[in-house]
Amino acid sequence: MAQTARVESALISQNLNTTSLIVAEKFSKRHKDVLRKIEALELPAEYHRRNFTPMAREVKIGSGATRQSKYCELTRDGWSVRQEER
């Protein structure tokens, strides 16, 4: 049975986008598994680049240290393709 959830989105650069972090949270999945699925999509490189933008954020890891954690910004089209590939 397919899971359905309301995925949060934001208007970014005149486009309706969401992130792999939000997708993982809303579908109770591990974020690294969501990223792995996105990276495994068999799509033309240009389409992938336009609809699945790699991003990074700083994450605190203790003792004042931080590290870069990658995530992906998905366009509406990217989200649609991701849903079809589940």
Q: Would you list the domain boundaries of the chain?
A: 15-84
pLDDT, position 33: 95
- Residue 76's pLDDT band (cuts 50, 70, 90): confident
pLDDT, average across residues 19-24: 91
Strand partners, 19: 73
pLDDT, average across residues 54-83: 86
pTM: 0.72
Give residue-wise pLDDT tens across range 23-59. Answer: 899 889 999 999 999 999 888 999 888 889 999 999 8
pLDDT, average across residues 5-34: 76
The letter for the amino acid at 81 is V
pLDDT, average across residues 4-24: 66
Q: 39 to each of 9, 13, 52, 80, how far by Cα in Å?
A: 21, 23, 9, 15
Reported as type and span, the H/E element at residue 57 is: strand 52-62
Q: What percent of the chain has pLDDT over 70?
A: 74
Count the alpha carbons within 13 Å of 37 in the hemisphere toward its beta carbon. 18
